[in-house]
């Protein structure tokens, strides 16, 4: 049962246990609320038969006190079991999603919009949290308590019981069958919400370009249309629930009529007593009102299914895993007939073969879109290859945990991300326990030991290079590391890099041929293949891509 709950509602094992405990608490609480009905039935029976003496009065006083005490205890238990377990599970769910994201390949993020991910982590989790704190456990608790009460009623008189409870399964079934329709409305609403969040995020990020092109008004008009569409979808989703829940609630009222009609007929025929008739009227008056709330809870549970499915879908994505105890014997990186595709039938690399040896600089060059950056990302297992394999120190990196692998890598990206913190904290992100002197030394090597608040592109690049100096990993991946630097700073950084790369495996992506003049090996990535490779001197002798690019840039 726990496994079914975990899958059905995107819960952890502990969350499923907590949910089952909350259902039990709600069931007991609902049953205890029937104690006053039992006392009233007994009192009425006493009054009609023998009257109420002093001993019976004491019995009723004690019964009232005990009922109130039990109601308080069970309500307290229900509140704690329902809300505390839900909020604890909500924290577990968010952390689990974060852990899932941490272990997913970067190819996932290329396919998934960031606004969609944000919606799953924030909105979907919030909807599920509210549903399970206010509706789910209460719904199942009401169902169980109603079944127990119905069985008790059948023990009294099956005819009256049937007249009383027949409307309950019909109403529940009507709302349950609406689940597919509600899912359609809620999916449309959710998709529009994602579009809205994408539009807002894009507008904020592109505000400078919108202003410079005088396109703000047009963009806001488009965003306004999405807001109106989201409003319509939200209203439609609410109506989709109400269209089934409200009629089902009204249908419950027929139960009172059938109980009264059948009871009157049986009473006139002498087949039941007045007290039995009275008891059934009492019970149905107590039974139908909470059941109306149960139908609302069922509608809310149906509505949350889209959010639950989205959360399950993210948890089901294949994660990158592998051994964490990894100590390579060498730091050679070898590509063996590597092929890669982002999506099915969209091949980016088809046959890449080369070895980046320890102690050498391997330069990747080629036309834009040829797959150079993809090759460097695959080397760090940001993505997993579609065919072939990549080895690091002789071991297939697909068998190594990405975090264990990346301990041996320093990476300088072309697009540098700086965190909202000091330059020092940005430099030591790869080595949190670095001393001030170590950070300053790395900054000096990267020529970025100046003060700064608003950093230019070149300055940001130097911060990124300083990170690599400080981490001092045996493998260095450089993606156009000096692209944003002026000639003077590029020369200084090149001098620093020459010290950094000593006895290390270096893979560099470059468009400027002068950047890779001292490379030990050049690999031309063209059309998704390793088109040609060798030393700069060897490739100069060929009339290939390298020689043509060298000639063009020399003339330029």
Q: How confident is the model over 2-39, as pLDDT tens digits?
A: 888 888 888 888 888 999 999 999 999 988 988 888 88
- Mean pLDDT (whole number) for 38-59: 79
Whether the pTM exceeds 0.75: the reply is: no
Number of C-beta neighbours around residue 32 at 10 A: 20
Task: For residue 190, give the nearest of 110, 139, 128 by alpha carbon.
Answer: 128
Task: Kindly state the tokens that stand for 157.
Answer: 């008189």
Cα separation, 530 vs 547, in Å, equals 16
Structure token digits, residue 505: 């495996």
User: What does the pLDDT read at residue 22?
Assistant: 92
Pseudo-torsion of CA 477, 483, 486, 492, nearest 10°? Answer: 10
pLDDT at 523: 92
- The CATH class of the 333-555 domain is alpha beta
Report the alpha-carbon distance of residue 218 to residue 500 in Å, rounded.
50
pLDDT for the residue 200: 86
pLDDT band at residue 553 using 50, 70 and 90 as cut-offs:
low
Would you give the DSSP letter of residue 362? E
pLDDT tens per residue, range 181-200: 888 888 898 888 888 888 88
Characterise 419 by phi-psi region: left (phi > 0), alpha (psi -120 to 50), beta (else).
Answer: beta
For residue 414, the surrounding DSSP H or E stretch is none
| 415/282: higher pLDDT | 282
The pLDDT > 70 percentage for the chain reads: 93
Phi, psi of 364 (to 5 degrees): -105, 120
At residue 481 the predicted structure's pLDDT band, cuts being 50, 70 and 90, is low
Rounded Cα distance between 5 and 19, Å, is 9
Strands 333-341 and 521-526: unpaired
Strands (E), 366-510: 387-392, 395-396, 409-412, 475-479, 505-509
Residue 399 vs residue 122, higher pLDDT: 399
Average pLDDT over every residue of 312-337: 88
Per the document, the length of the chain is: 556
- Given a cut of 70, whether residue 333 has pLDDT beyond it is yes
Q: Is the pLDDT of residue 226 over 70?
A: yes
Q: Beta strand 387-392 with 333-341: parallel, antiparallel or unpaired?
A: antiparallel
pLDDT of residue 391: 95
Domain boundaries, the chain: 2-315, 333-555
Rounded Cα distance, 429 and 417, in Å: 12
Residue scoring higher pLDDT (489 or 205): 205
pLDDT at 482 over 80: no
Residue range 2-315 in CATH 1.10.510.10:
no
3-state DSSP call for residue 65? helix
Position 555 scores a pLDDT of 63
Q: DSSP class of residue 53?
A: -
pLDDT in tens, 337-396: 999 987 766 778 888 999 999 989 999 988 887 888 889 989 999 888 989 999 999 999
What is the distance between the alpha carbons of residues 229 and 231, in angstroms, rounded to a whole number?
5
Q: Which of 22-31, 462-471, 495-504 has the weakest average pLDDT?
A: 495-504
Checking if the pLDDT of 414 tops 80, the result is: no
């Amino acid at each position: 049962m726990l496994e079914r709950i975990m899958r059905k509602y995107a819960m952890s094992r502990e969350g499923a246990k907590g949910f089952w405990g909350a259902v039990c608490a709600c069931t007991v609480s609902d049953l205890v609320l029937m104690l006053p009905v039992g006392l009233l039935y007994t009192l009425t029976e006493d009054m009609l038969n023998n009257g109420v003496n002093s001993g019976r009065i004491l019995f009723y006083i004690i019964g009232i006190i005990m009922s109130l005490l039990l109601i308080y205890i069970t309500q307290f238990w229900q509140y704690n079991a329902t809300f505390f377990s839900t909020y604890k599970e909500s924290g577990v769910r968010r952390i689990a999603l974060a852990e899932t994201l941490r272990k997913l390949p970067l190819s996932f993020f290329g396919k998934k919009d960031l606004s969609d991910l944000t919606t799953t982590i924030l909105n979907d989790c919030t909807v599920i949290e509210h549903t399970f704190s206010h509706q789910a456990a209460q719904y199942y608790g009401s169902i169980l308590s109603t079944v127990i009460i119905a069985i008790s009623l059948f023990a009294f008189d099956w005819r009256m019981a049937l007249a009383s409870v027949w409307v309950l399964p019909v109403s529940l079934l009507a709302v349950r069958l609406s689940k597919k329709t509600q899912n359609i409305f809620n999916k449309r609403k959710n998709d529009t919400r994602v579009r809205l969040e994408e539009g807002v995020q894009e507008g904020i990020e592109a505000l400078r370009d919108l202003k410079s092109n005088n396109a703000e008004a047009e963009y806001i008009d488009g965003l306004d249309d999405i807001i109106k569409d989201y409003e319509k979808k939200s209203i439609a989703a609410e109506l989709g629930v109400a269209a089934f829940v409200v009629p089902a609630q009204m249908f419950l009222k027929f139960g009172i009529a059938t109980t009264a009609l059948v009871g009157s007929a049986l009473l006139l025929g002498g087949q039941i007593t007045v007290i039995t008739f009275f008891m059934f009227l009492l019970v149905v008056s107590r039974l139908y009102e909470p059941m109306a709330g149960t139908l609302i809870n069922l509608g809310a549970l149906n509505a949350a299914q889209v959010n639950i499915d989205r959360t399950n879908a993210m948890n089901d994505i294949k994660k990158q895993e592998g051994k964490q105890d990894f100590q390579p014997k060498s730091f050679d990186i070898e590509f063996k007939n590597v092929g890669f595709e982002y999506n099915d039938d969209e091949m980016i690399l088809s046959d890449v073969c080369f070895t980046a040896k320890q102690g050498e600089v391997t330069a990747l060059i080629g036309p834009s879109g040829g797959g150079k950056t993809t090759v460097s990302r695959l080397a760090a297992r940001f993505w997993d290859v579609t065919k072939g394999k990549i080895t690091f120190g002789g071991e297939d990196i697909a068998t190594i945990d990405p975090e264990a692998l990346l301990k041996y890598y320093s990476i300088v990206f072309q697009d540098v991300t700086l965190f909202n913190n000091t330059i020092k904290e940005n430099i030591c992100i790869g080595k949190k326990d670095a001393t001030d002197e170590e950070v300053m030394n790395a900054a000096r090597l990267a020529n970025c030991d100046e003060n700064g608040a608003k950093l230019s592109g070149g300055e940001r690049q130097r911060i990124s290079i300083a990170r690599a100096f400080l981490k001092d990993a045996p493998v260095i991946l450089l993606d156009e590391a000096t692209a944003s630097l002026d000639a003077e700073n590029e020369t200084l950084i090149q001098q620093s890099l020459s010290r950094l790369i000593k006895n290390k495996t270096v893979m560099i992506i470059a468009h400027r041929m002068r950047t890779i003049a001292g490379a030990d090996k050049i690999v031309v990535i063209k059309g998704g293949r390793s088109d040609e490779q060798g030393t700069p001197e060897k490739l100069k002798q060929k009339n290939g891509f390298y020689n043509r690019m060298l000639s063009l840039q020399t003339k330029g």
